Amino acid sequence: MSEAAAARTEKNVSQRNRDKVEIRKRNRVILKSVLVAVAAADVMLALMLVYFFFLQVPYFNLQQVDVTGNRRLSRAEVIEASEIESGINLVTVDLAAVAERLRRHPWIRSASVYRRFPGQLIVEIEERTPRAILATGKLHYVDEQAEIFTRLLPGDPVDYPLLTGVKPEQLQNDGPEIREMIRSGLGLMDLLERSGSDMDLSEIGEIRLDLDDGLSLHTRGGRVVILGKTNFERKIYRYGRLKKFLTQRGEWHNARIINLDFEDRALVRSADRARLQG
């Protein structure tokens, strides 16, 4: 055999050996993949068996629902709003769906639901807190975020500041503007509570809202104080100075309409005359 033929033969043998090595490598990869797939299938099957086992075991059925954060609502009302089925298997409870149903209740601002095996469900809620009552055809509670969240029912507490001046159709046509006015009214209430001014919130019979003219206070004694839309803190301060001035002159009891919606003065009207006071 010539040297060239011998070289070709050696090259062919070497190529066949390399091919065999590559085939063995591919076979090992394929075998490994098959083993991994079989193992994964076994794990999935085992998990499914465990899941179905849990579904069939009464030990994991719902036995107790703990409710926290409720003040106005009773535990029974919260459970009713959650629509949780009695005795349901805890594994099958859709926690997110339960929380969403709870948040649909007008008195519930937020809700979270947790499992505690073997048979306990924990419901944590945050209730809305009424801040005022909006009179607009019917009476509605308004919370601290200026949201109108539910109508008052017979027997509901009414000892809250009263917001008036809003017509029912305005809620539909001017909703964002009305809510901003309500927010201004709540801010004014906070100002009166913390400022220690001569105007006590308990003396206010109603806070009237007007999209054009702003806010005005109607006292239980029949006095109207017009504040407009801005600079409430400065106007409340001016109100105190005006009250002191008129009291010293013996004219405070005659003041029926006080318009503070000016830059640097107030307009005071009584039953028989009108005058400007600086």
* Closest to 246 in 3D by CA, of 228, 269, 262: 269
> What b/e sequence results for 164-199 when a residue is b if at least 16 CB atoms lie within 10 Å of its CB, and e otherwise?
bbbeeebbeeeeeebbebbebbbebbebbeeeebeb
* DSSP tag of 255: -
Treating both helix axes as pointing N-terminal to C-terminal, what angle do 75-82 and 95-103 enclose, rounded to 10 degrees? 120
- Cα gap 78→32, rounded to integer Å: 54
- Cα gap 196→261, rounded to integer Å: 21
The answer to whether the predicted template modeling score (pTM) of the entire model surpasses 0.85 is no
- The pLDDT profile of the chain, 278 residues, written as one tens digit per residue, is 555 555 555 555 565 666 565 666 665 666 566 555 545 555 565 555 455 555 556 777 899 999 999 999 999 999 999 999 988 988 889 999 999 999 999 999 999 999 998 899 999 999 999 999 999 989 999 999 999 999 999 999 999 999 999 999 998 888 899 999 999 999 999 999 887 777 888 899 999 999 999 999 999 989 999 999 999 999 999 999 999 999 999 989 899 999 999 988 889 998 666 554 55
- Cα gap 219→200, rounded to integer Å: 10
The secondary element (H helix, E strand) that includes residue 266 is strand 266-269
Tell me the sheet residues that pair with 163.
134, 207
User: How confident is the model at residue 96, as a pLDDT?
Assistant: 97
Q: Helix, strand, or coil here: 159?
A: coil
- Cα gap 186→108, rounded to integer Å: 20
* Closest to 68 in 3D by CA, of 125, 128, 127, 129: 125
User: How confident is the model at residue 83, as a pLDDT?
Assistant: 95
- Cα gap 140→161, rounded to integer Å: 12
